[in-house]
Amino acid sequence: MKILAAIEAFAGVSYILYLVRFQAFDPFVALPLAMAAISFGIAYGLYKIKRPAWFLSMGFSLFGLIFGSAGVLIVGLTLESALVDLPKLILDLITILLLLSKDVRKAFRV
């Protein structure tokens, strides 16, 4: 569970790092800030073995994997997408596989 919580917390940190690129606060910047807060909340729930966190983590990871893969396929694999998008896709896949493991499902009673 700690690995899952760490991966989810890393997602929150990546959203915060994304915000560093912007100098002004506008509505567009609010979305990554909200996603960071959600990711940290999910990470806390996974750490405390809260059942809703399992479902939220699975949903966000599936969403990220599906739409991230579609984005890479549409735009194509460039150096930037290989450095930015592929690690996120790999972490989403690892998260899904860990969430589906027998021990984790038993712990969350899913």
| pLDDT tens digits for range 92-108 | 999 999 999 999 999 99
Predicted local confidence at residue 101, as pLDDT: 96
In this prediction, residues 71-90 reach a mean pLDDT of 82
pLDDT tens, 20-48?
776 666 677 778 888 889 999 999 999 99
Give the relative orientation of helices 51-75 and 2-20 as an angle to the nearest 10 degrees.
Answer: 50
Q: Tell me, what's the pLDDT at 52?
A: 97
* Contact (CB, 8 A) for 69 and 83: no
SS3 62: helix
Nearest to 89, CA basis, from 70, 65, 72, 73? 65
Cα 15 from Cα 1, distance rounded (Å): 22
Look at 27 and 65; give whichever has higher pLDDT. Answer: 65
pLDDT score, position 24: 63
Q: Which of 42-51, 56-65, 86-95 has the lowest mean pLDDT?
A: 86-95
